């Protein structure tokens, strides 16, 4: 049996009709599907305003530009996709990299020291793999030291903690709608703004006229795909969590698991093991798609200022991911579990 790491679930008849409707009307951009997606996503999150853009990286960049991080420090976790640190650099900021804890999110124990010792303009927590960062503690420290909070929620559509969704805790949030994301457009992103003061600043960055700007817009095709994906999100998340529960029960005594905080939406299902590379090789030989998340730490990748990162360094060397998506069948889940347990027995 072959189990791909990711599988596109296809396009339903209703979505096909909407895509054909776009072609027939000739309204290819800045049309009703984009407006509807922004409205529904805003209501889903419970924020002041949402604006779609062409990627999650763009969303981070626009938000960072809006709060003007030029020549100021922005706190980021060591373990994340490179777009997190690249957006800070592109916006003129100085990344300050901290360690992560067992949730793979920002280590609160280092955060206050960073805020005391550095000229920090913003904290950029990442809800890694769909798991919430400690937003109550982050917000408390942000208020104490007078800094902005920008959530990197690229992997956390629908995740929540204490009744508040990822993207609705900070002043702003950035989302990605890349092809593999829990809400997908193929390519795309959004800036979600909770702080009303920042709405006009983000508009100035994204709209032509007030100051030099880039064109970061989506097409209507992307928005239509995203709208259908958003409307299936809660059902698909339940399926992801059911698969994750089976994995957790099967692997908890053998592999390191990500400690959950709140409602984890499992964009990525990860495990840890000191013999990670051998396990990945053997899984691939058995036809099971697997990936390493991540083979680098952000300060190593871009040579930025950083605190000590012992947890992140260990996780970098041990983490790998298994297939998890709504169309994964029970037979395929059984095969993944049985195969990995057999591999583990032989180590």
- DSSP helix/strand/coil, 218: coil
Structure tokens at 265: 């939406």
- Cα–Cα dist 55/197, whole Å: 23
Max Cα-Cα span within the chain: 64
Residue 301 phi, psi dihedral angles, 5° rounding: -65, -40
Helix 196-206 vs helix 56-66: crossing angle, to nearest 10:
120
Residue 154 phi, psi dihedral angles, 5° rounding: -60, -25
- DSSP helix/strand/coil, 329: coil
Q: Categorize the per-residue pLDDT at 210 as very low, low, confident or very high, splitting at 50, 70 and 90.
A: confident
Beta bridge partners of residue 305, listed in sequence order: 96
The per-residue pLDDT for range 273-298, each reduced to its tens digit, is 999 999 999 999 999 999 999 999 99
Structure tokens at 72: 């100021």
Contact between 46 and 168 (Cβ < 8 Å): yes
Average pLDDT, the chain: 97
Q: What is the mean pLDDT of residues 9-34?
A: 93
Contact between 100 and 312 (Cβ < 8 Å): yes
- Burial class of residue 235 in the structure, from the number of CB atoms within 10 Å of its CB (0-12 exposed, 13-18 middle, 19+ buried): exposed
Contact between 205 and 65 (Cβ < 8 Å): yes
Domains of the chain: 13-231 (3.40.640.10), 233-345 (3.90.1150.10)
Question: What is the pLDDT at residue 226?
Answer: 97
Q: Categorize the per-residue pLDDT at 221 as very low, low, confident or very high, splitting at 50, 70 and 90.
A: very high
Evaluate if residue 211 carries a pLDDT over 80: no
Contact between 78 and 309 (Cβ < 8 Å): yes
The per-residue pLDDT for range 169-199, each reduced to its tens digit, is 999 999 999 999 999 999 999 999 999 999 9
Report the chain's terminal Cα–Cα distance, integer Å. Answer: 22
- DSSP helix/strand/coil, 66: helix
**Report field, pTM of the whole predicted structure over 0.75:** yes
Q: What single-letter DSSP state applies at residue 258?
A: P
The per-residue pLDDT for range 34-68, each reduced to its tens digit, is 999 999 999 999 999 999 999 999 999 999 999 99
Which parts of 123-166 fold into alpha helices (H)? 135-145
């Amino acid at each position: 049996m072959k189990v791909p790491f990711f599988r596109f679930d296809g396009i339903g008849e209703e979505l096909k009709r909407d895509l054909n409707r776009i072609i027939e009307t000739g309204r290819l951009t800045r049309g009703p599907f984009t407006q509807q997606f922004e409205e529904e996503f805003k209501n889903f999150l419970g924020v002041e305003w949402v604006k779609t853009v062409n990627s999650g990286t763009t969303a981070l960049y626009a938000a960072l530009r809006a709060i003007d991080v030029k020549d100021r420090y922005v706190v980021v976790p060591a373990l994340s996709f490179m777009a997190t640190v690249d957006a800070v650099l592109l916006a003129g900021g100085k990344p300050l990299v901290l360690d992560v804890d067992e949730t793979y999110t920002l280590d609160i124990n280092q955060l206050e020291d960073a805020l005391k010792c550095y000229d920090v303009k913003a904290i950029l927590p990442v809800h890694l793999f769909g798991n919430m960062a400690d937003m109550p503690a982050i917000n408390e420290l942000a208020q104490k030291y007078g800094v902005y909070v920008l959530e990197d929620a690229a992997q956390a559509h629908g995740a929540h903690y204490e009744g508040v969704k990822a993207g609705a805790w900070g002043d702003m949030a950035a989302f990605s709608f890349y092809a593999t994301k829990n809400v997908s457009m193929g390519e795309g992103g959004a800036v979600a703004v909770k702080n009303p003061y920042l709405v006009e600043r983000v508009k100035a960055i994204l709209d032509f006229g007030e100051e030099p700007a880039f064109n970061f817009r989506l097409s209507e095709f992307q928005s239509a795909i995203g709208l259908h994906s958003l409307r299936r999100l809660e059902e698909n998340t339940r399926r992801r969590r059911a698969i994750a529960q089976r994995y957790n029960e099967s692997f908890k005594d053998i592999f390191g698991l990500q400690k959950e905080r709140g409602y984890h939406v499992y964009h990525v299902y990860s495990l840890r093991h000191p013999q990670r590379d051998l396990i990945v090789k053997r899984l691939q030989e058995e036809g099971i798609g697997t990936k390493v998340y991540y083979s680098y730490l952000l300060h190593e990748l871009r040579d930025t200022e950083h605190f000590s990162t012992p947890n992140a360094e260990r996780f970098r060397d041990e983490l790998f991911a298994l297939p998890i998506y709504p169309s994964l069948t029970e037979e395929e889940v059984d095969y993944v579990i049985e195969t990995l347990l057999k591999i583990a027995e032989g180590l």
